[in-house]
Structure 1
Amino acid sequence: MDKSVTDCISQGFVVTCEHGGNLIPLPYQDFFHSYQAQLATHCGFDFGALLMAKELATALSAPLVAATVSRLLVDLNRSVGHPRLHAEVIRRLSVAARQEILQYYYQPYREQVERLVRQGIAYHGLVIHVSSHSFTPELNGKIRTADIGLLYDPARPGEADLCGRWQFALKRCAPDLKVRRNYPYLGKGDGLTSWLRQQMPPGTYLGIELEINQKHVIRAGQAWPNLRKVLIESLGQTLVSQCYGTSS
């Protein structure tokens, strides 16, 4: 981001990617022989989300926490006890085996994110957390009607304002993009950002989930690199407008 952005930024940033890969660690690979097809799809990971997260973190000079273990082993964006925390084959394992997975893959990730957010709050007073995701263009026969989704908790004015500004900036940078808020999921649903909102003091944490339609990720040529560039540039414009209090 250019100097006009970095000069006015007074808050900290953390970028995360909970579904960055489809890796199954060696001790669990035997359980997933029949899941190879699913691992290669959105069921296994979020296409493009890791690359987007890396470029956002670089642009914001922000720490990045990313996972490449498949969500089928353990979904880092779900709470413990959520019915889709594990794939069915893992849900059939003993309590001790599932606790081991949480101990080695889930808890360290969550603890690292929480630690970085708290450090940012201690230094800046406010942290913006961007969680990078992508969504399948069609689910259960229904076409998703957005290119970009910005997820937030409507009860938190700071998050609503940030997403409104980002949506406006995206429309200005790329008028053909369809940008929707709290779509295709609700930002206040179960997830890492919702959990962090409960852990942090009021007014110190803004959690935004960025959702990108995977149809853009799989396109050949410059479409996908250009979209990443637009997302970063529009976020920079958003931060400048927020910094100077200009209208979105």
Structure 2
Amino acid sequence: MNRAVAVENAEGAGPFVLVCDHASNFLPPPYDTSLQISDADKIAHIAWDPGALGVARGLSQALDAPLVATTVSRLIIDCNREESRADLIPCLSETTQIAGNRDLSADEKAFRLNLAHRPFHKAIDKVLNERKDRGLPSAVVSIHSFTPVYKGKSRPWEIGLISENDRRLADPVLSDLAARGDLTVGDNEPYSPADGVYYTIRRHGEDRQLPCLMIEIRNDEVRTPDEEARWTELLAPVLKRAAETIAGGARV
């Protein structure tokens, strides 16, 4: 498997396939210096989704689900963007300039696509195709995290559920989480597909007509392994119940 992509629990037989587009902040040479960003930027949200991989790995174990994750920073290339989008290789992330991403040659863009973006999506396709061949149902869920404050505006949601046309997972998960009474749950907040953040789920979920959902957890909720474990323990039974609800009607 490509070194910029990791597949864990590939043979998992549960009803979910998990993906983590922004799992790592790793910048291999020469990008560790050529992007011209500070050490603080390299560990900030602009480089990755802190806490997302820990939750995704916990859910992979709890749900016996394959997990496909990136192993390089999204500042090199954002695997959750169409190849044609201007922010595929970001020159500006939130309010931070990424000088080393400006004026890239066609060869450099192609190198980065072939380093991480295309292998990531190929790996997801491979997992889904093999599960289909095995007769296993698949629902696709991506795990992300978001900042408590964005461009000066506070975000009240501890968790956001992002969906488009397919609400088979979003509706039961939203209902279950809201019923707890201790969470502020965003429905297409703090992002929605209209913000251009839905590429991976649209490609591998909606386009395949598979149940799908993008989960965003506020990153001050997943700062430690214990907090990641808490969210794993909270989400695993909720996702299981949602899958059972779907299975009671159409196949997952």
Q: Give the TM-score category using the shorter length.
A: 0.7 to 0.9
Amino acid at match of 1:237: R
Distance 1:136 1:18 in 2: 16
Q: Residue in 2 aligned with 1:206?
A: 211
- CA offsets, 1:77-117, max 9 Å, x none? 11112111113222422110111111121111110011212
2:173 to 147, 166, 171: 166
Q: Which has the higher helix share?
A: 1
2:179 corresponds to 1:176: no
* Length-normalised TM-score, structure 1: 0.82
- 4+ residue stretches of structure 1 with deviation over 6 A? none
**Which of 220, 238, 244 is 1:234 aligned to?**
238
Instruction: Identify the residue that residue 120 of structure 1 maps to in structure 2.
Output: 131
Residues 13 and 120, structure 1, Cα contact 8 Å, conserved in 2: no
**Matching residue of 2:64:** 61
Quick check: 1:194 aligned with 2:202? yes
Question: How does the TM-score come out when normalised to structure 2?
Answer: 0.81
SS in 2 for 1:26: coil
Deviation of the 1:244 alpha carbon: 4.0
Partner of 2:4: none
Whether 1:148 and 2:153 are equivalent positions in the alignment is no
* Runs (5+) with no aligned partner, structure 2: 1-12, 92-99
Once the two structures are superposed, residues 131-189 of structure 1 have per-residue CA deviations (whole angstroms, 9 ceiling, x without a partner) of 11001011011111211111111x23xxx1321111222234x3201112211111464
Equivalent-residue separation in structure 1 for 2:156 and 2:242 (angstroms) = 24
Q: Quick one: structure 1 residues 99 and 221, their matched pair in 2 at CA, closer, same or farther if it must change by over 3 Å?
A: closer
In structure 2, relative to structure 1, the CA distance for the partners of 1:239 and 1:207 (3 Å cut) is closer
RMSD: 2.3
Aligned mates of 2:32, 2:204 — CA distance in 1: 31
Query: Matches of 1:162 and 1:217 in 2, distance apart?
Result: 22
Contact 1:12 1:120 in 2 (8 A): no
Q: How far 1:230 moved relative to its partner?
A: 0.7
Q: How many residues align?
A: 227
Whole-Å separation in 2 of the counterparts to 1:83 and 1:139? 21
Identify if the C-alpha distance between structure 1 residues 225 and 61 changes in structure 2 by more than 3 Å, giving closer, same or farther.
Answer: closer
Sequence identity, in percent? 29
Superposed, which structure 2 residues align to 1:52-131 within 5 Å? 52-88=55-91, 89-124=100-135, 126-131=137-142
| Consecutive unaligned residues in structure 1, runs of 5 or more | 1-9
Aligned counterparts of 1:25 and 1:222: Cα–Cα separation in 2: 29
Q: Distance in 1 between matches of 2:240 and 2:23?
A: 24
CA deviation vs aligned residue, 1:188-222 (integer Å, no higher than 9, x gap): 6442112224652xx4x12211100112113x795
